[in-house]
Structures are given as structure tokens and as C-alpha cells.
A and B are shown apart, each in its own frame.
Chain A
């Protein structure tokens, strides 16, 4: 079906079910219960899951397959956002042209940067991409202010032309982003007893694009092109002496992953029509690297898991504060309670990045294959050792 089969089809199905049922899955607790703070099923956050999922899936096509570690992918995300906002300012509030422009502009930008950076490999490539991204960031902040609106960031205003739409909405405000009239921010809430589930147009639009992106990534992984990219990672010397020119292959991978980043940037702007330079900063590039590695670089599902994992815990952990901690440890003797709270408060709230850093170190050190490898290991433990021989041969196939 759809040109893919077996495990890949199952995987696509799993992602589809997860994405479409996310409003239920991520809202397991009644809205008034003490656990409600662990709910993640509201549109804002869910949109972030899938948008960063798209970003990471694209990054994985470059890093996971070819092994070229780009430290500048946030530049494409930022360019995508700026393009989309300009489309909203000049053309109309329809998200389709905005996203198309984001992808195209990011692709062209990636073509330029990739063409130069890919003349080098290893750490030199990483530094070149980092240098380009930092340049873009600095320029967006300073000289390019007419295009980027500098520190404030690019925003919509009432006197934007919007030639195919209206400058001002019926209610006198700035019109909202829509898909042929379907408003992105519109959310339907469904009540089931104490539970409230929110369904947002914007989220489902993003989710559908995630599925399309994921599907394309499966096709790329399984195509001869994908095989060549894995060959680039494995042994460039042999590839060259087999009559294959590595540079167009890596450049194509770079541009494709840049377009994914542009799509993610365009979607961010479609959900919330503003764009700022900080989206291009190198910490943002670092974030997508973290997501991909944490989930499992070079695997299909890994980046999606990594993006979801990081965004979920970022949201949950940063909401926990002292009061919550004291509640949790309240039953303990006071000294112990204070001690535990003291330790725990390093890791929650604004300390979330500490947790992330530690987690990342642990994963790189002990679980280089990321969450996917962790899952595989656990699965193997459960199934026992009798099927070792089968595993051996299965291992030699690319991990799913």
C-alpha cells in the first residue's frame, strides 16, 4: 500500500493513529484532578510536537543517513518562518501559499549554504554550517531589519496589503490564518464527564503534514537514493571508486532536510503569525540535534519520538515548582522533605535544561541508538534469548 509495506506500513499506521488521536492520548487525566498538569493535549503544545517532529524527521535525513552533523539547521527554520509571515502580510492569510513559499525559500537557502559547506566534511562541515547559521542570525538581528524587523520580530499589522485577502478583519482586528476559510486557531472542545478534549484545526493541519513528511521520509529511506546516502556515511572512498559522485547526493539530502526545516518554520508561523531571529540561534540548531539523537538517529521513528519526548518534558518539567514538590513529598518527615525538594528543584521549573543536558549525556554515553535502541533492548529482554539468532540477522537490516 502506498508503495511501502511490512514494518514500514505498520510504523506509518502507528504514527497516524498517534497523531490523529493525540488529543485523547495526551489528555489522560480529568481536567480538575491533581494530575491535570501532566495533560499535554492542548492545541499549542500538540502543534509543537508535530512541528518539531517534522523538523527532526528532516534533520534525520541528513544526519541519520549521511552522518553529516549540521549545527545550523535552525537557520532554515527561521527563514521558513519569515517567508510565511511575509506571505501573510503581502498575499493573504491562507496558509497554503505561505507554506509553499517557506519550503521553496528554505530549499534555495539550503542549496546555497549546502553547496559551500559540503565542500568540507567532518567537524569542518559542522563549523561551516554553524558559521552560516550564526551569520544569518546576526544579520537578521541587525542589517536585515527591514525584512526581519530586528529584535522585535516580524509581526502582522493592520496596514499590511494582503492583496488577495483583507487588511482588516470584519471585527476590525488583524485577520487570522486559515486554510481556505477554515480558521487555524479554531478549537472544538468535547466533554466526557470530567474530561475535556480539544480538537484544533491548526493541530490537525500540522498532523496531516507530519504524516505526509513521515511518509516521504520512509520512501527516501527505502529508495536507492537513501541507500546511497547510507553508503556515504559508511565509506566515501569506496563510493567514489564505485563511480558515484558523493557531493550531489549529500547536497540533495541537505536541501531536502532544509526544506523540511522550512516547512516546520512555515507551520510555526501559520499557527502563530510572527517570526523572530532567536528561531535561528545555534541553540535552536542544537535542539533539533538533541531530538534526533535522543530518539535515535538513522531510524525512521526516532526523530518523531525524540521531538515529542523533549517537547513534552520541557512543558511538564518547567511547570513543576516548589509548591508542587512540597505537595509530593509532603508525607515525609520535614528534614527529608526539604532535602528531597532541594535536590529535585534543580531539575524542574527553570532547571529543565539541566535535566535535558543530563539526559542527553546519559543517552549518548549508554544508549547511542537513542530511545529506539532502548525500546529494542527492552523488547529483546522480554522476548528472551531463545531468538538470538533471528535478532542477529534482523539487526543487520537498518533499524526501524
Chain B
């Protein structure tokens, strides 16, 4: 049994079969990549995992519990964090405040009318946020407006915010989309370092094969809403079915 078990998931949008009988098993503490051409259903699958979409049929189990029918914040509280394609951060707040919010969510749960002690007075939260900022190499930016940072820094902050919740499963939706090569390499290094320093399962959806083959331990290839192959990276590289699926698409491997 993997930590994440997706069984026979189907999802239709009107006449379009976005996902057809998707089965997926992600082993605990592994890095699992989901690749596939545009429109293969990668994002739809991800949205089904975090509660943004509800599959028409099938089941999604996380650590033995079903996530179906739960809202995104409930699923997050179960231990699944998500990094978006375009960084979703609190642009109006400072970097430090951004980092403190997941720390509060971890400590206080989905809602707490916490009005007695000031934010300043929450030593434990400050320490944890500060430690995370140091981890992410962003301590010098703590007073900056999050919206005023570069895209690479926003991405870094978002990943840090997810990690601050100490999730058991981290979902990354094309984390290097739109990044320059240097930033992409930095992100790869960051993810490697994250994986090395803690027990965490990572599911990554990616277009850039360079990123996939640098990180993933297993790869699922999705085409037209159905898993085509699932194997270790070495086998995937030369797989005829994969080449077929990507026909006409450049594969910078």
C-alpha cells in the first residue's frame, strides 16, 4: 500500500473524458512524477487529489483515508500541501507574515479565534517561521512585500510555506514553468535538498523532462486521461509508447 492510492478515477467535462480509469499508487517517501502531453489530464488529476474537483467515479485514498468529498482545507489538514503553477502567495503581506500563516494553520487548525495574544507575542510561531526562512535562504527578505519579489523567490517562498506545515505529501504543479534555466536548476537543487533532509513524499507534475529525470524515482505517463506506462525513469526514457504519446512534441530529455 502506498501513501496515496488512486483507484479507477473517472472525470468527464461535458463530452470530454478528462480522466479515464486512472490508477496510481505512490509509495511513501518517494518522488513520483506524472508527465504527459498538454491536455493529458495531469492538472485534472491533481485537482481531484486536493479537493478542487470531485471525480465522477473511483476513489482517492491518502494514508488509508478517503479524500473525496472533503474541502481543500480539510485535505490540507490531513497532510497534503500543494504548490501551484503560478505561485500562490499572500502578495500584500510580508515574507515573514507569509511564512507564519502556515505555522498558525499547523498549530491552531482550520479556525481559531485567536485575538488574545498578538502576532508579535507568539514566540513559537516566530521561531518556526524564522527557521523555515533560513532553510529557504530567504531570511534577509523577511520584511519584503511578497508581491515585490522575483518569480523564483515567490516559488521558493511558496514551497517553504508548504513545508512549514510539515506535510506528508507535497504536490508540485509544474514548479519550474516559465523559469529561466538557472532558476530551474536552483529549484531542482532545492527540491533535492528538501527530499534529503526529511521524510516526505513528493508528487510532481512537470513538462520539463530535465527536471523529471533529475528528481523522480518513478514516473507515470498520462495520455488522453489514461495512464500509459508507469516505471522507473531509466525504462521510461526509451519506452516506445511514451515516444508515441509525445510524437510531434519536442522532448528535451
| Whether chain A touches chain B in the assembled complex (some CB pair under 8 Å) | yes
Residues of A within 8 A of B (CB): 3-5, 219-220, 222-228, 230-231, 233-235, 237-245, 248-249, 252, 393, 395-397
- A223 with B76: CB separation less than 8 A: no
- B102 with A242: CB separation less than 8 A: yes
- Asked whether any CB of chain A lies closer than 8 Å to the CB of B13, the reply is no
A216 — nearest CB in chain B belongs to which residue?
B115
Complex: A230 Cα to B82 Cα, angstroms: 21
- A241 with B76: CB separation less than 8 A: yes
Question: What residues on A are CB-neighbors of B143 within 8 Å?
Answer: 393, 396-397
Give A301 Cβ to nearest chain B Cβ, in Å: 18
Question: What residues on B are CB-neighbors of A237 within 8 Å?
Answer: 84, 88
- A228 with B72: CB separation less than 8 A: no
Give B97 Cβ to nearest chain A Cβ, in Å: 6
Question: What residues on A are CB-neighbors of B125 within 8 Å?
Answer: 224
- Asked whether any CB of chain A lies closer than 8 Å to the CB of B89, the reply is yes
Complex: A107 Cα to B117 Cα, angstroms: 23
B91 — nearest CB in chain A belongs to which residue?
A234
B132-159: which residues lie under 8 A (CB-CB) from chain A?
143-145, 148, 158
- A245 with B111: CB separation less than 8 A: yes
- Asked whether any CB of chain A lies closer than 8 Å to the CB of B209, the reply is no
Question: What residues on A are CB-neighbors of B118 within 8 Å?
Answer: 3-4, 219, 222-223
Partner of A395 from B72, B90, B145 at Cβ < 8 Å: B145
- A235 with B73: CB separation less than 8 A: no
A395 — nearest CB in chain B belongs to which residue?
B145
- Asked whether any CB of chain A lies closer than 8 Å to the CB of B57, the reply is no
Which DSSP category, helix, strand, loop or mixed, fits chain A's interface?
helix
* Contacts A225-B114, A231-B101, A242-B102 supplied; 15 other A-B pairs, CB < 8 Å: A4-B118, A219-B115, A224-B122, A226-B115, A227-B97, A230-B92, A233-B92, A234-B93, A235-B90, A241-B81, A242-B73, A242-B81, A243-B102, A244-B104, A397-B143
Question: What residues on A are CB-neighbors of B119 within 8 Å?
Answer: 222-224, 226-227
A-B residue pair count with CB separations less than 8 angstroms: 118
- B111 with A244: CB separation less than 8 A: yes
- B122 with A241: CB separation less than 8 A: no
- B115 with A239: CB separation less than 8 A: no
Give B109 Cβ to nearest chain A Cβ, in Å: 8
- A244 with B73: CB separation less than 8 A: yes
Complex: A396 Cα to B106 Cα, angstroms: 25
The answer to whether residues A241 and B104 also contact, given A4-B118, A396-B143 and a CB cut-off of 8 A, is no
Total interface residues on B, CB under 8 Å, equals 46
A393 — nearest CB in chain B belongs to which residue?
B143
- A227 with B100: CB separation less than 8 A: yes
Partner of B90 from A5, A220, A238, A252 at Cβ < 8 Å: A238
- Asked whether any CB of chain A lies closer than 8 Å to the CB of B244, the reply is no
Question: What residues on B are CB-neighbors of A4 within 8 Å?
Answer: 118
Question: What residues on B are CB-neighbors of A220 within 8 Å?
Answer: 115
Partner of B113 from A233, A240, A252 at Cβ < 8 Å: A252
A238 — nearest CB in chain B belongs to which residue?
B88
Give B185 Cβ to nearest chain A Cβ, in Å: 26
The answer to whether residues A242 and B165 also contact, given A224-B122, A227-B97, A228-B104 and a CB cut-off of 8 A, is yes
* Pairs across A and B, CB under 8 Å, 11 listed: A222-B120, A227-B100, A227-B101, A234-B90, A235-B88, A242-B76, A243-B110, A243-B165, A252-B113, A396-B145, A397-B94
A222 — nearest CB in chain B belongs to which residue?
B118
- A225 with B115: CB separation less than 8 A: yes
Question: What residues on A are CB-neighbors of B90 within 8 Å?
Answer: 230-231, 234-235, 238-239
- Asked whether any CB of chain A lies closer than 8 Å to the CB of B77, the reply is yes
The answer to whether residues A228 and B92 also contact, given A223-B119, A241-B76, A245-B110 and a CB cut-off of 8 A, is no
Question: What residues on B are CB-neighbors of A244 within 8 Å?
Answer: 73, 101, 104-105, 110-111
Question: What residues on A are CB-neighbors of B72 within 8 Å?
Answer: 240-241
Complex: A241 Cα to B171 Cα, angstroms: 11
Question: What residues on B are CB-neighbors of A219 within 8 Å?
Answer: 115, 118
Complex: A239 Cα to B97 Cα, angstroms: 13
Interface hub of B72, B108, B121 (most chain A Cβ within 10 A):
B72
Question: What residues on A are CB-neighbors of B180 within 8 Å?
Answer: none
Question: What residues on B are CB-neighbors of A3 within 8 Å?
Answer: 118, 121
Complex: A226 Cα to B118 Cα, angstroms: 9
- A223 with B114: CB separation less than 8 A: yes
- A234 with B117: CB separation less than 8 A: no
Question: What residues on B are CB-neighbors of A226 within 8 Å?
Answer: 115, 119
Give B127 Cβ to nearest chain A Cβ, in Å: 15
B72 — nearest CB in chain A belongs to which residue?
A240
- Asked whether any CB of chain A lies closer than 8 Å to the CB of B196, the reply is no
Question: What residues on B are CB-neighbors of A234 within 8 Å?
Answer: 90-93
Interface hub of A5, A220, A234, A397 (most chain B Cβ within 10 A):
A234
Give B113 Cβ to nearest chain A Cβ, in Å: 6
- Asked whether any CB of chain A lies closer than 8 Å to the CB of B186, the reply is no
What 7 A-B pairs come out closest when comparing CB atoms?
Answer: A243-B76, A234-B92, A234-B90, A224-B114, A245-B110, A248-B111, A238-B88
The answer to whether residues A243 and B92 also contact, given A220-B115, A223-B114 and a CB cut-off of 8 A, is no
The answer to whether residues A223 and B117 also contact, given A238-B88, A240-B71, A397-B143 and a CB cut-off of 8 A, is yes
Interface hub of B84, B89, B111, B121 (most chain A Cβ within 10 A):
B111
